[in-house]
Amino acid sequence: MLNVLTIAGSDPSSGAGIQGDIKTFTSLGVYGFAVVTALTSQNSSKFFKSEPASPDIIKSQIRSVISDFKIDAIKIGMVYDKKTIKTIYNELKNVKVPTVLDPVFRSTTGGVLLHPDAISDFIKFLIPISHIITPNIPEAEKIAGMKIKSMNDAKKAALKINSLGAKNVVIKGGHMRGKKVVDLLLENKRFHLFSQKRLPRESHGGGCIFSAALCSSLAKGESLPESVRHAQEISLESIRGAARVGRGFSIVRQKSVDMIEKKLSDAMQKFIEIDGIYNYIPEVQTNFVYSKPNPKVISDILGLEGRLIKVGSSVQPVGTLKYGGSRHVGNAVLEVAKKFPSVRSGLNIKYDTKTIKKAIAKRFCVTYYDRTSEPVISKHKEGKTISWGIKSALSKMKVPPDVIYHTGDLGKEPMILIFGKSPKDVLTKLGKIT
Ligand code: PXL
């Protein structure tokens, strides 16, 4: 499991701050650690007070986490005053973990979250140690020292913030007028625009969700454009689901965790980390899928819209997990699950007679099909070959298969598919034959 750390303030209304961040992390399947920089008292309509934690306890909290856990990404939220900023800077300046800096200046209800005399230290110390900074328009105006009235202004402000030491900048467009919300990313001197429908409401916690989601995506190794797109989608979804739990602003609501996605992405991570696994990646690359119970259609099956690809002597995921994302392995699992509903996960690896022999020696249930004997009608229908092949391989089977292979056809690479109840089960089987 991936680990992320938020260094932020406490919000007892739990929409924003560390409470909000932990919910976002959990909903995205990463483990969230939290270092508290300040306490606030606030609800959905009013901000009452705030009080910073002492530098000593902030330092000690950061050390207690960093010294024990492997942290994959960090988010910095509310930092309140100069002392807090310097403490965080000192603790993180030599830590090589991608850091998302969320400038948190004011609460939704107008409470001061960064003391005005601390803004110059915020810029001087925290911006240079961040991998990406995520201001909204008013925050970007304050940091860049200019008004932002147009996309052109936003681009200028992003370049200015970049010159202050932020390696990458995303300016969230929510405060700009228009039917769409356009977020602007500056990465390596290049601009990317991300446009989304505008929702007709304001809610508490949206900014925190954006930066916490971005942090989770970076931990997962997604590219910056992918991470921003994801963060935008997740924020929108959480704002759409916001609930009016109090008398004031609605509070954002994170969607619940998709355990299918979580289990598959955890298993993919483990797969990638298997020593020498690149030797098992076929020419057509690998996909790994996990199905909802009793799948009826390919869109019941989660897979990579992309592949796990061999890069030199490593394996890297390309693309994102989507239901219906995998045609080949997805259709294979769909076909097996129709006959044996306990089978819900599958993975393809390079064909090798040694692997087949090992599977047989381990008393795995192994079967195969012959692509060259596929009827011509079926061959010409896109995506039908797999369904035909799996059906033919299963025709005499009484128990669920562990492995199905085929030895190829003219221009078609031979392949081994491993099946199991869950991605973890598939990995266990894989471990026994590789
Ligand atoms: O949304 C920014 C934010 C961050 N952290 C804390 C907050 C808020 C907004 O109210 O209270 C603690």
pLDDT tens for 44-68 read: 999 999 999 999 999 999 999 999 9
CA-based Rg of the chain, rounded to a whole angstrom? 25
Give the pLDDT band (50/70/90) at residue 411: confident
User: Which among 241, 256, 271 is the end of a domain?
Assistant: 256
The pair of three-digit structure tokens given for residue 357, joined into one six-digit string: 């022999």
Residue 370 has pLDDT above 80, yes or no: yes
CA atoms within 13 Å, Cβ hemisphere of 273 = 8
10 Å CB burial of residue 411 (0-12, 13-18, 19+) is exposed
pLDDT tens for 117-141 read: 999 999 999 999 999 999 999 999 9
Answer yes or no: is the C-beta of 107 below 6 A from any ligand 1 atom.
yes
The pair of three-digit structure tokens given for residue 429, joined into one six-digit string: 């089987």
Atom of ligand 1 nearest to the CA of 78: 5
CA of 225 to the centre of ligand 1 (A): 25
- Read off the pLDDT of each residue in 133-157 and give the average, rounded to a whole number: 97
Answer yes or no: is the C-beta of 238 below 6 A from any ligand 1 atom.
no
CA of 359 to the centre of ligand 1 (A): 55
CATH number assigned to the domain comprising residue 250? 3.40.1190.20
Contact 264, 302 (CB under 8 A): yes
Answer yes or no: is the C-beta of 11 below 6 A from any ligand 1 atom.
yes
Domain match, 219 and 316 both? no
Atom of ligand 1 nearest to the CA of 9: 12
Answer yes or no: is the C-beta of 77 below 6 A from any ligand 1 atom.
yes
10 Å CB burial of residue 292 (0-12, 13-18, 19+) is middle
Q: Kindly report the average pLDDT of the chain as a whole number.
A: 95
Domain match, 226 and 280 both? no
Answer yes or no: is the C-beta of 40 below 6 A from any ligand 1 atom.
yes
Overall domain count for the chain: 2
Q: H/E element holding 217? A: helix 206-219
Distances (CA, A) of 286 to 303, 352, 355, 371: 11, 15, 16, 19
Domain match, 206 and 57 both? yes
Between 300 and 110, name the one with better pLDDT: 300
Answer yes or no: is the C-beta of 217 below 6 A from any ligand 1 atom.
no
DSSP-derived letter for residue 80 is B
Give the pLDDT band (50/70/90) at residue 200: confident
Answer yes or no: is the C-beta of 113 below 6 A from any ligand 1 atom.
yes
Domain match, 191 and 334 both? no
Atom 4 (ligand 1) nearest CA: 17
pLDDT tens for 240-268 read: 889 999 999 999 999 877 889 989 999 99
> What pTM was estimated for this model as a whole?
0.75
pLDDT tens for 63-94 read: 999 999 999 999 999 999 999 999 999 999 99
Answer yes or no: is the C-beta of 135 below 6 A from any ligand 1 atom.
no
Q: How far apart are CA 92 and CA 16, in angstroms?
A: 23
The CB density around residue 96, as the number of other CB atoms within 10 Å, is 6
Domain match, 266 and 288 both? yes
pLDDT value for 201: 78
CA of 108 to the centre of ligand 1 (A): 8
Q: Which residue has the tokens 């977020």?
A: 183
Domain match, 316 and 354 both? yes
DSSP-derived letter for residue 197 is E
User: Which among 256, 287, 312 is the end of a domain?
Assistant: 256
The residue whose CB lies within 8 Å of the most ligand 1 atoms, and thus the one to mutate among 78, 79, 80, 136, is 78
pLDDT value for 380: 61
Domain match, 265 and 409 both? yes
Contact 49, 74 (CB under 8 A): no
The residue whose CB lies within 8 Å of the most ligand 1 atoms, and thus the one to mutate among 208, 235, 251, is 208
Domain match, 142 and 272 both? no
Produce one character per residue of 188-215: b if its CB has 16 or more CB atoms within 10 Å, e if not: eeeeeebebebeeeebbbbbbbbbbbbb
Q: What is the 3-state secondary structure (H, E, C) of 113-171?
A: CECHHHHHHHHHHHHHHCCEECCEHHHHHHHHCCCCCCHHHHHHHHHHHHHCCCCEEEE
Answer yes or no: is the C-beta of 78 below 6 A from any ligand 1 atom.
yes
Answer yes or no: is the C-beta of 17 below 6 A from any ligand 1 atom.
yes
In Å, the largest CA–CA distance within the chain is 77
Domain match, 310 and 239 both? no
Domain match, 146 and 277 both? no
The pair of three-digit structure tokens given for residue 171, joined into one six-digit string: 């300016």
User: Which among 210, 241, 256 is the end of a domain?
Assistant: 256
pLDDT value for 258: 84
Between 30 and 376, name the one with better pLDDT: 30
Answer yes or no: is the C-beta of 104 below 6 A from any ligand 1 atom.
yes
Residue 431 has pLDDT above 90, yes or no: yes
Contact 215, 74 (CB under 8 A): yes
The residue whose CB lies within 8 Å of the most ligand 1 atoms, and thus the one to mutate among 6, 10, 11, 108, is 11
Answer yes or no: is the C-beta of 345 below 6 A from any ligand 1 atom.
no
Domain match, 252 and 265 both? no
- Read off the pLDDT of each residue in 18-41 and give the average, rounded to a whole number: 96
Atom of ligand 1 nearest to the CA of 109: 10
Domain match, 117 and 151 both? yes
Answer yes or no: is the C-beta of 20 below 6 A from any ligand 1 atom.
no
Answer yes or no: is the C-beta of 173 below 6 A from any ligand 1 atom.
no
Atom 5 (ligand 1) nearest CA: 17
- Which residue range is the domain that position 54 belongs to? 3-256
Distances (CA, A) of 253 to 10, 42, 235, 239: 17, 18, 9, 7
